Structure 1
Amino acid sequence: MADLDLQRLRAAIVNRVDTFETHGIRAALLDWALEDAAYEANDLGDALGAVQRRLETVDCAACAAPSGLIYDADLARRVPEWRTEIDEALTDYHDAVGQRPVIESVGGLVWFAVEWNASEMASILDRTRADILSALAA
């Protein structure tokens, strides 16, 4: 494991991708993925790839997601904080698929929003990778 400046990588990502906010679901996902990247990357380019891979494989039910997303009480506490992002995930899903997701619980609602946002973030990182790497090289 190299001694990486992950805060610099985080800043490069957030500065180039305005939808990666400093709070909410996407911030929690980015921080979690960056923390994981520290253990598997040798340089910031590797770390960016590790962040993208981590986001592509988010699976709340399999505990492959940020902490605090397991117990019903923890999930319910996230709803007010993440309500706007949850609503946006539901709308984006409907727009993309043409139907509403089948959600059976509040926890399922939060998990859906987390997984949807993670997938969107991974796609955005894939499209902006060159720009982020250029910023890191400057």
Structure 2
Amino acid sequence: MATGHGQGREVVATRSKLYPDTEHLMGWDVGGHGFRIMLDAGLPEFVDRVLAGDIRAFLADYGLTAAQVGTWICHPGGPKVINRIAEVLELPAEALEVTWQSLREHGNLSSVSVLHVLQQTRGRAEQPALLLALGPGFSTELLLLHW
């Protein structure tokens, strides 16, 4: 994703995962009222039990730990999920600062909100960076980026 000034983001690696039998964790209720997000109270526990390990394994495949990631670009799914990600990965408070700011200013825009967080990191990102989006079904998208 070049910026036109000889600098840009390089996607080093990606991983997509759809977790079986997790439709109840996150999804959409589509009706006459439009789209209404459905979030299960068990989602933070799922972050603890499964998602954090998958993030660690993805990073380890490229010789990294969570502590070595300079920039975290996370989909702000909600306070409980953000807190769980930060806690189980032992991230410093400032690691998810832009994620929290996006949630405060724009709310949960679903998975696409990660693009807003990505935009806000331009010019102040440290490498390597990890982009993390959560989606219905329950699914995750991970991108390892270098600047």
> Given the two structures, how large is their TM-score scaled by the length of structure 1?
0.30
The structure with the largest helix share of the pair is 1
The structure with the largest strand share of the pair is 2
The structure with higher relative contact order (CA 8 Å, sep 6+) is 2
> Given the two structures, how large is their TM-score scaled by the length of structure 2?
0.29
